[in-house]
Amino acid sequence: MQLASGIVVAETQIGKVRLNEYRPEQPGFSSHFDALDMDRLRFGIYSATAADVERALRQPERLESLMALLSPAAASYLENMAQLSVAATRKRFGANIGLYLPLYLSNLCANECDYCGFTMGNRIKRKTLNDEELAREMAIIKGRGFDSVLLVSGEHETKVGMDYFRRILPSVKQQFSHLAMEVQPLAEGEYRELVSLGLDAVMVYQETYQRRTYAAHHTRGRKSDFGWRLDTPDRLARAGVDKIGLGVLLGLDDWRLDALVMGHHLHYLERRHWRSRYSISLPRLRPCVGGVPPKVELSDRGLVQLICAFRLFSDSLDISLSTRESPELRDNLFSLGVTQVSAGSATSPGGYAAPQSQLDQFEISDERTVDLVVAELQLRGLNPVFKDWERSWIAG
């Protein structure tokens, strides 16, 4: 039915949801998603038995297995899962751990997300890097040895949109072999253009796959369009982006269910768009200016279970670990299944040249320098890799 405001409201099995204007031009994950029965998935997770978990450990790459490995029943098998996860990671990735740094371009944002320090309503100082400031940040990151960079911004299509990206990407690509972005979802043609300017990877986190929770946390701006975001990985793959990152913000809702639906998303993408590679991030909700506390706490053991479950589910998947987690926990996770880590991160625009905590997106937990993190990795027999990508190797 249509309300006086013009918003279309429909009854579904999960209650009333707002349908946005977005309608996919080509079928994408959203049509698969609409067919998922969330109640059945939730029931499957919470009713899994020890026998289901043991079966899943023998054949972990199926969706039913992921469901069992994410279940409460799998908690008693954590040691077994960890050993299998380490072995699967070593077999596929060796002892290599890729290192990258986020470079914050801007904290301008036209969305309201109540868990984020950049949310539009927060009265913080806003800043977008100019060419000089960008060059300074890049020089610092390069000086620390990094050759892989993740450009991050709030989502502001007019002020930090395609015109800005077109201008800065060539100079960033001159400095870094691997260029990833975490910005607002774009159209397929826009991604194609950015690929021609050197874009290698895009991270686009759904935050939560539970529509009502999503609507409650994303109240204004384009990000409130659940379907537009959900089909972004399809647009990225069609545009030829080499690596696509999925993620959920752990703590917004039931993490087991969010992780399982992300597994469905990954499974769909790996089969539909097999030319792209995939990564996941598993960030836990962190404190920020004006931010909400987690609705559902995820313990350290729960995070270990999640990492191991995904490693066993997809052996070629990159798993990223940011500085949101504590040094002690990160040190233990490095060997478990993680393949990409950041170190010495700043989470504000201009934060490497001039740290200003009031501009941060969220609080960092591991504040060690990159040298200390590298030393820790080596102590654990791991091989820190600053460069493992060169576009000319695959250019025809």
- Only one of the segments 114-122, 128-136, 157-165, 231-239 lies at the binding site for ligand SF4 (rule: CB under 6 A); that segment is 114-122
In the complex, the smallest distance separating the C-beta of residue 373 from ligand SF4, rounded to whole angstroms, is 25
Site track for ligand SF4 across 145-164, x = CB under 6 A: ---------xx---------
Cα separation values, 42 from 29, 123, 254, Å: 20, 39, 9
- Residue 113 in contact with ligand SF4, rule: CB under 6 A: yes
- Residue 109 in contact with ligand SF4, rule: CB under 6 A: yes
In the complex, the smallest distance separating the C-beta of residue 220 from ligand SF4, rounded to whole angstroms, is 10
Nearer to ligand SF4, 113 or 241 (CB): 113
- Residue 118 in contact with ligand SF4, rule: CB under 6 A: yes
In the complex, the smallest distance separating the C-beta of residue 314 from ligand SF4, rounded to whole angstroms, is 26
Site track for ligand SF4 across 333-372, x = CB under 6 A: ----------------------------------------
Q: Return the closest-CA partner of residue 148 out of 118, 178, 116, 185.
A: 178
Q: Return the closest-CA partner of residue 314 out of 85, 28, 75.
A: 85
- Residue 116 in contact with ligand SF4, rule: CB under 6 A: yes
Nearer to ligand SF4, 89 or 232 (CB): 232
- Residue 324 in contact with ligand SF4, rule: CB under 6 A: no
What is the full DSSP assignment across 135-183?
A: HHHHHHHHHTT--EEEEEE---TTTSSHHHHHHHHHHHHHH-SEEEEE-
Nearer to ligand SF4, 119 or 342 (CB): 119
- Only one of the segments 30-38, 106-114, 163-171, 255-263 lies at the binding site for ligand SF4 (rule: CB under 6 A); that segment is 106-114
In the complex, the smallest distance separating the C-beta of residue 152 from ligand SF4, rounded to whole angstroms, is 8
The rounded distance, in Å, linking the Cα atoms of 128 and 85 is 41
Residue 109 CB coordination number (10 Å): 25
Q: What is the phi-psi region of residue 182: left when phi exceeds 0, alpha when psi lies from -120 to 50, beta otherwise? A: beta
Residue from 127, 178, 211, 223 binding ligand SF4 (CB under 6 A): 223
Amino acid identity at 300: D
Binding footprint of ligand SF4, residue count (CB under 6 A): 9
- Residue 217 in contact with ligand SF4, rule: CB under 6 A: no
Question: What phi, psi does 106 have (nearest 5°)?
Answer: -160, 150
Helices assigned H by DSSP within the chain: 29-35, 38-47, 50-58, 63-69, 78-93, 131-143, 162-175, 188-196, 211-217, 226-230, 232-238, 255-272, 300-313, 327-333, 370-379, 391-394
In the complex, the smallest distance separating the C-beta of residue 122 from ligand SF4, rounded to whole angstroms, is 8
Residues 6+ apart with CB under 8 A from 227: 20, 22, 23, 24, 30
- Only one of the segments 107-115, 125-133, 134-142, 189-197 lies at the binding site for ligand SF4 (rule: CB under 6 A); that segment is 107-115
In the complex, the smallest distance separating the C-beta of residue 285 from ligand SF4, rounded to whole angstroms, is 11
In the complex, the smallest distance separating the C-beta of residue 300 from ligand SF4, rounded to whole angstroms, is 24
- Residue 111 in contact with ligand SF4, rule: CB under 6 A: yes
- Only one of the segments 11-19, 112-120, 127-135, 194-202 lies at the binding site for ligand SF4 (rule: CB under 6 A); that segment is 112-120
What is the full DSSP assignment across 32-60?
A: HHHH--HHHHHHHHHH--HHHHHHHHHST
- Residue 119 in contact with ligand SF4, rule: CB under 6 A: yes
Residues facing residue 98 across a β-bridge: 340, 385
- Only one of the segments 60-68, 116-124, 165-173, 258-266 lies at the binding site for ligand SF4 (rule: CB under 6 A); that segment is 116-124
Residue 390 CB coordination number (10 Å): 11
Q: What's the gap between Cα 39 and its chain centre?
A: 25
Residues 6+ apart with CB under 8 A from 80: 57
Nearer to ligand SF4, 235 or 286 (CB): 286
Name the site residues for ligand SF4 (rule: CB under 6 A).
109, 111, 113, 116, 118-119, 154-155, 223
